[in-house]
Amino acid sequence: MRLKDKVALITGAGNGIGRETAMLFAQEGAAVVVVDVNDDAGGQTVAAVEAAGGRASYVRADVSKAADCENMVAQAEKAFGKLNVIFNNAGISHKDDDDAITTSEEVWDLTFDINVKGVWLGCKYGIPALRRAGGGSVINTASFVALLGAATPQLAYTASKGAVLAMSRELATVHARENIRVNALCPGPLHTELLMKYLNTPEKKQRRLVHIPMGRFGQAKEIAYAALYLASDESSFVTGTAFSVDGGITAAYTTPE
């Protein structure tokens, strides 16, 4: 088991990448703290983990709120005695996110509150817990759009993920001598509710697909396997990376037909 005796906290674990990662981490021996703002979805993830023979607990948290983030870390240590992995995965992509001209200030602020402030608060309260455990791994969900501009404008989201990448690099440097690794996981376009709600027409889907050399959207479980590597001791010399799992989209200038 690749995460035997480890405790992992995953935000946004009620669905998508978060749920798949919770299932996989538990399968690999970790006790999992499932964090979400949706109690039903979070409870379903815990039930699925336990039904498969794993250990999990649920904590409700709005990651844009400091008190909630402080509490989720405290509850992880209370439930399982320590914290070895924090996966700051919770994020949004707002349907009204567009270019600089048409994106509203409200959409911009909401996106940054969850996608950037939420990651910062997870690190603010999570990193001291990793110190108490003797070290560990921080995984922050960024995106391929932290490295490339998106063909379909989603400026607040793109800027927020660029901020996550920059934050992760600096934290990796700051904490490198403390046995604490920090990496930004950069998924490509995925067949998840988050993206499909945004790419809501065949034309929008095709506009994104044409740039992916593999010619398909990724699956949440494929990102979970990358998170497993970053969480495990197998990645003990990996820190400060933009860890791309993207079907080749960031490597491609043009895509063959």
Q: Coil, helix or strand for 104?
A: coil
- Residue tagged 């490198």 (tokens): 176
| Residue 198 known to be catalytic | no
- How many Å apart are CA 248 and CA 221, to the nearest integer? 17
Give me 198's structure tokens.
Answer: 């945004």
**Which of 157, 198, 229, 253 is flagged as catalytic?**
157
Q: Coil, helix or strand for 124?
A: helix
Contact 180, 130 (CB under 8 A): yes
Give me 98's structure tokens.
Answer: 């567009």
Active-site positions read 157
